[in-house]
Amino acid sequence: MRKYLNRTFLISFLVNGGTFAIAMAILDFSDDKPFRLWRFLFNLIFFGLFMALIFVWKRKKDSSK
């Protein structure tokens, strides 16, 4: 079960964080702002971490029922 949750966490982190970071970069680009790597990484890490933690918590809660 632990290995499954680690894989779930990692996949959720990359997919959700990456999607959000790319969307924010596209919005910045459409407003004629330059690409900022630090902002892209910030969006990727913090949004991805938050969503992955929520997703794993929900999976644990659902599997215990």
Q: How many C-beta atoms surround the C-beta of residue 40 within 10 A?
A: 16
User: Quick check: 27 pLDDT over 70?
Assistant: yes
**pTM beyond 0.85, yes or no:** no
Percent of the chain past pLDDT 70, that is, above it, reads 98
46-64 mean pLDDT: 90
Residue pair 17/51 in contact (Cβ under 8 Å)? The answer is: yes
Rounded to whole angstroms, the Cα distance separating 17 from 42 reads 9
* Domain spans, the chain: 2-60
Residue pair 18/47 in contact (Cβ under 8 Å)? The answer is: no
13-26 mean pLDDT: 95
43-59 mean pLDDT: 93
